[in-house]
């Protein structure tokens, strides 16, 4: 485990920028982890998008219920986030813990933002955060006190459907028939390869993080502009026809799960 430095909040109480969360109480002790991990993410909702940064620690801690003290501010041309440290719990739940939290920026306009990540009030990392219709990309010349799990995130349009079908031996044809039924109502449009967070598309190969090596599973992604109810009817029909032979897990860009 990396060494964690213990500091008093009084040393960092003079915030360089305002935070979205309440200020720390004077005298509260926090621990600064020397390796936070950030993931660029996008929350999916029927009518809007929420651009986010997911925060966790790479170094496992000795309690399961640590929390992260953090904050953020966004203006017309800059995004700043501050990672003050991890807060020890009053009553430790013993076990290996990786505290997690989410910083939400809302549905930001497309443009290039100055991006600052401040660690413990002392380490400043300056980079850029570019938002377009197709991607969210962040660039740093170097990072101190944190790592990035992804520098680029392809954006998911509301009409996108993706998922996987797990099938019992001998039922690969049924799984493929389901995917063909979706393909028949899909838009004939090339979907950009890349990391979409919830899945990775490389050419025609779809990789979903929850895939288990060695199982009978096939994955898919389509852009479908038909009503959601029509897609749901297809899923329900195959679930009815193959209740014990197909497990269908699917999602869409409106935040729905099927």
How far apart are alpha carbons 112 and 137 in whole angstroms?
9
Mean pLDDT value of segment 129-138: 97
How far apart are alpha carbons 119 and 124 in whole angstroms?
6
Domain 160-252 fold: Alpha-Beta Plaits (3.30.70)
Predicted local confidence at residue 238, as pLDDT: 97
Q: How confident is the model at residue 8 (pLDDT cuts 50, 70, 90)?
A: very low
Q: In the predicted model, is pLDDT for residue 209 greater than 90? A: no
Q: Where are the domains of the chain?
A: 5-154, 160-252
Predicted local confidence at residue 75, as pLDDT: 93
Identify whether the C-beta of residue 26 lies closer than 8 Å to the C-beta of residue 35. no
Predicted local confidence at residue 166, as pLDDT: 93
Estimate the crossing angle of helix 228-241 against helix 172-184, to 10 degrees.
160
Predicted local confidence at residue 24, as pLDDT: 38
Identify whether the C-beta of residue 116 lies closer than 8 Å to the C-beta of residue 28. no
pLDDT, tens digit, for every residue of 216-229? 899 999 999 999 99
How far apart are alpha carbons 56 and 37 in whole angstroms?
5
Predicted local confidence at residue 212, as pLDDT: 56
pTM: 0.81
How far apart are alpha carbons 253 and 228 in whole angstroms?
11
pLDDT, tens digit, for every residue of 63-110? 999 999 999 999 999 999 999 999 999 999 999 989 999 999 999 999
Predicted local confidence at residue 3, as pLDDT: 33
pLDDT, tens digit, for every residue of 20-52? 444 434 345 555 545 899 999 999 998 889 999
By the 10 Å C-beta count (0-12 exposed, 13-18 middle, 19+ buried), 93 is classed as exposed
Predicted local confidence at residue 35, as pLDDT: 83
Predicted local confidence at residue 164, as pLDDT: 94
Burial 183-203 (b: 16+ CB within 10 A, else e): eeebeeeebeebbbbbbebee
């Amino acid at each position: 485990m990396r060494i964690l430095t213990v500091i008093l909040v009084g040393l960092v109480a003079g915030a360089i920028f305002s935070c979205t969360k309440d200020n720390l109480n004077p005298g509260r002790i926090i621990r600064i982890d020397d390796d936070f991990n950030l993931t660029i993410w996008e929350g999916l909702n029927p009518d809007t998008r929420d651009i986010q940064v997911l925060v966790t620690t790479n170094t496992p801690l000795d309690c399961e219920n640590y929390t992260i003290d953090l904050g953020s501010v966004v203006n017309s041309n800059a995004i700043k986030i501050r990672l003050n440290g991890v807060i020890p719990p009053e009553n430790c739940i013993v076990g290996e813990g990786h505290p997690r939290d989410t910083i939400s920026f809302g549905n930001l306009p497309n443009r290039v933002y100055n991006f600052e990540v401040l660690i413990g009030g002392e380490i400043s990392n300056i980079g850029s955060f570019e938002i377009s219709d197709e991607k969210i990309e962040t660039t740093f010349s170097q990072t101190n006190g944190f790592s990035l799990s992804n520098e680029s995130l392809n954006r998911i349009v509301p009409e996108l459907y993706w998922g996987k079908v797990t099938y019992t031996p001998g039922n690969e044809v049924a799984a493929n028939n389901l995917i063909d039924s979706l393909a028949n109502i899909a838009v004939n449009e090339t979907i950009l390869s890349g990391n979409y967070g919830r899945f990775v598309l490389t050419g025609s190969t779809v990789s979903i993080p929850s895939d288990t090596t060695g199982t009978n599973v096939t994955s898919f992604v389509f852009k479908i502009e038909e009503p959601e109810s029509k897609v749901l009817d297809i899923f329900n029909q195959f679930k009815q026809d193959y209740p014990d032979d197909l497990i269908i897990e699917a999602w869409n860009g409106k935040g729905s799960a099927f």
